[in-house]
Structure 1
């Protein structure tokens, strides 16, 4: 999770929503990403999506069986769908997202046992640190709006 927080901080420094994600296989990071929607002009360039793509490229397969994802914030529905479709087995995340979270907060996609390949999900890992980054980012955004 510490690596995810470093990636989230990098996102914030690039004026992106501070979310970072890694994919781990047998104790080794095989993929990583941080939000880059603004810089790539791509609504799908979420940390989780980029980490999945990176991991798939590393192992040469879209199936990420036996892999674990760590991410600083509860994934949205798009990312949750990608996590399930890529067959990631375990998902650990930082803070919950009461508005858009798809791992128990608003929706239940990742751990939905009616799906063929649900992930085992656990939240609240270093949640305070993850939430603090998000709060700092959005506070600064609101301050910039007030300046205009």
Structure 2
């Protein structure tokens, strides 16, 4: 894993971690995105991708809205990060090595795989995803021995987990207007 020089200090991917105040601030923004998703008839997942204290990407689930099952909050935010890098002629993997994902629910297997491929060092999330979780609940994509699939990453779980679960319960209690009766 790489290292970065900040002043006279060396910061490695292994030790890359934001302070508690930053985690609280960014997770509050992620929960705002999740609330927006819920208000728009989506599974209430929201996220931010933060690089050098700047939001490069933010997303909420857009699966029902777009009728595209891959438009998870993380993928929406990641697309914005890639676009940000393109406009500045920066290497996305280098930028992502210093980017933290803050998300209200554990990333699914697809999203965890994408995060690994882009070299994200840290994911902070709320509640576990017991059906599709890619950060340990179902599969452990961040630390699995997967050759040629990017870098492993750390996870901090359980931040405002109860609130995330309650939002999910609220969504699943209502009728999904896009669901088909069998």
With structure 1 as the length reference, what TM-score do the two structures score? 0.90
Shift of 1:26: 1.2
1:3 aligns with 29
Q: How far apart are the structure 2 equivalents of 1:95 and 1:141?
A: 22
Show the 5 A alignment for 1:1-148.
1-60=27-86, 61-63=91-93, 64-112=96-144, 114-115=146-147, 116-141=150-175
Contact 1:77 1:100 in 2 (8 A): yes
Q: Which moved more, 1:92-101 or 1:59-68?
A: 59-68
Larger Rg: 2
Shift of 1:113: 5.0
Q: How far apart are the structure 2 equivalents of 1:12 and 1:75?
A: 17
Shift of 1:114: 4.4
Q: How far apart are the structure 2 equivalents of 1:74 and 1:25?
A: 20
Q: How far apart are the structure 2 equivalents of 1:24 and 1:73?
A: 17
Q: Which moved more, 1:103-112 or 1:76-85?
A: 103-112
Q: CA RMSD in A?
A: 1.6
Contact 1:84 1:118 in 2 (8 A): yes
Residues 127-146 of structure 1, C-alpha deviation per residue, up to 9 Å, x if partnerless? 1111111111111238xx9x
With structure 2 as the length reference, what TM-score do the two structures score? 0.74
> Gapped runs of 5+ residues in structure 2?
1-26
Q: How far apart are the structure 2 equivalents of 1:113 and 1:124?
A: 24
